[in-house]
Amino acid sequence: MKRVQFGRYGGPEEMSFADYTLPPLAPQRVRVRVKAAALNPLDWKVRRGDMKLVSGWKFPQGMGSDFAGVVEQIGAQVSGFQVGDEVFGTTEISRQGAFAEVIDANAKLVVRKPASLSFSEAACLPIPATTAWAAILGIADAGPGSRIFIHGCSGAVGSCAVQLALAHGAQVSGACGAASLAAVKAAGVNPALTYSDKASFAAEGLYDAVFDTLGTLTLDDGLKLLKPKGRFIDINPTPGRVLRGLVSGRYRMTFSTSGYKNLEDIARLSAEGTLHGCIGLEAPFADALSVIKAAEQGHRRLGRIVLLM
Ligand SMILES: NC(=O)c1ccc[n+]([C@@H]2O[C@H](COP(=O)([O-])OP(=O)(O)OC[C@H]3O[C@@H](n4cnc5c(N)ncnc54)[C@H](OP(=O)(O)O)[C@@H]3O)[C@@H](O)[C@H]2O)c1
């Protein structure tokens, strides 16, 4: 089978298409024929070596996390799946490889795809929606009457956070780039501001939670927007920020992994039409290297980039 892989940590030039033979299926895994895989910033952060403490030093490594496809084989200790099931899910950082024709995935990170979702729509969900779940429902505890400010409300994580917060009755304000304003207003963000309009972020009062999906608000920026018991939530770790998250009651660092247990909930909300990923571009798998490179270099668009296998 073909996959996108890299032979050492580095820039886009380290990526290549390679033939790859999967080892015998491990007991806790399912073998999935990938139909669609969505790009996440995590994919190139891992390839650059930003997470090498987790991704390790064994090469070559496959690239890609979020996927949707069809179950081909089931590990001896896995229950709840049948060959032919349409599923979606994600990979461990230590075992990426979703940009591939076939993947062996941890069965705990895979759920059945609602029939109403296309493979592309489902592939857009895992990391963005689990991260948003961890932040908005796990930490911000969004509910009727709560006020949440989402900095970067137009991105994949941001737009899942907006949908989850609104669905749980919260009032959502946020900031995004000027080109994204119309879309986020239509999604229910009110008021929707641009990043440069910082002076107006708290014009309508303080928040129960500020979720900075971009990692560009300072601690001071965030705390100024919060009610006394409010939470400032970050998802862009640096060693200093992770440390701060351990010692500060009001500043919290969270990860997609904290939302993995909610993949079934995410599938259910998507089936109900409450939560959806946004597709920006569908590209053939054969274009993977150029598409990943362009996204990494900032040629992004509203919505996820999806590779079709
Ligand atoms: N801790 C975790 O487990 C975890 C999980 C998921 C993501 N993350 C991190 O969270 C961040 C957001 O992830 P995402 O998947 O939501 O990313 P995304 O879909 O690419 O969203 C990017 C966001 O960044 C804004 N942006 C500002 N400058 C930009 C630029 N030069 N190019 C493109 N976008 C720009 C965009 O807003 P406008 O276009 O409106 O300007 C948009 O809101 C990433 O750094 C990612 O690594 C962490």
Q: Give the bridge partners for 251, in sequence order.
A: 232
Which whole number is the average pLDDT over 105-134?
98
* CA–CA separation, 253 and 27 (whole Å): 33
Residue 299 has pLDDT above 90, yes or no: no
Please, are residues 7 and 60 in contact by the beta-carbon 8 Å criterion? yes
Pair of tokens at residue 143: 């509910």
Residue 131 has pLDDT above 70, yes or no: yes
Residues of the chain with pLDDT > 90, as a percent, come to 92
Q: Can 2-124+278-308 and 128-258 be said to share one CATH topology?
A: yes
Options 3.90.180.10, 3.30.70.20, 3.30.390.10, 2.40.30.20; CATH of 2-124+278-308? 3.90.180.10
Residue 176 CA: nearest ligand 1 atom is 40
- Ligand 1, atom 28: closest residue by C-alpha: 177
Q: Which residues line ligand 1 (CB under 6 A)?
A: 40-42, 45, 127-128, 131, 152, 154-158, 176-177, 180, 213-214, 235-236, 255-256, 298, 300
Ramachandran angles phi, psi of 36, nearest 5°: -150, 145
Rg, the chain, Cα only: 19
Centre of ligand 1 to C-alpha 223, Å, is: 21
- Ligand 1, atom 44: closest residue by C-alpha: 41
Please, are residues 78 and 30 in contact by the beta-carbon 8 Å criterion? yes
Look at domain 128-258 and name its CATH class: alpha beta
Residues 207-264 have pLDDT tens digits of 999 999 999 999 889 999 999 999 999 999 988 888 888 888 899 999 999 999 999 9
Residue-averaged pLDDT of the chain? 95
Confidence of residue 68 (pLDDT cuts 50, 70, 90): very high
Q: What is the pLDDT of residue 5?
A: 98
* DSSP character at residue 49: T
127 exposure class (CB count in 10 Å sphere: 0-12, 13-18, 19+): buried
Cα→Cα distances 214→95, 153, 157, 187, 200, Å: 25, 9, 10, 19, 18
* CA–CA separation, 296 and 41 (whole Å): 7
Residues 8-36 have pLDDT tens digits of 999 999 999 999 999 999 999 999 999 99
Which whole number is the average pLDDT over 175-195?
96
Q: Where are the domains of the chain?
A: 2-124+278-308, 128-258
Centre of ligand 1 to C-alpha 120, Å, is: 19
* DSSP character at residue 190: S
Residue 153 CA: nearest ligand 1 atom is 43
Centre of ligand 1 to C-alpha 76, Å, is: 38
Other C-beta atoms closer than 10 Å to the C-beta of 34 total 26
Q: What is the pLDDT of residue 246?
A: 83
Confidence of residue 300 (pLDDT cuts 50, 70, 90): low
* CA–CA separation, 170 and 211 (whole Å): 13
Residues 36-67 have pLDDT tens digits of 999 999 999 999 999 999 999 999 999 999 99
Which whole number is the average pLDDT over 88-102?
97
Centre of ligand 1 to C-alpha 138, Å, is: 20
Q: Which of 300, 304, 306 to mutate to test the pocket of ligand 1 (most atoms within 8 A of CB)?
A: 300
* Least confident segment among 1-5, 62-66, 91-95, 235-239: 235-239
Sign of CA dihedral 149, 150, 154, 157: negative
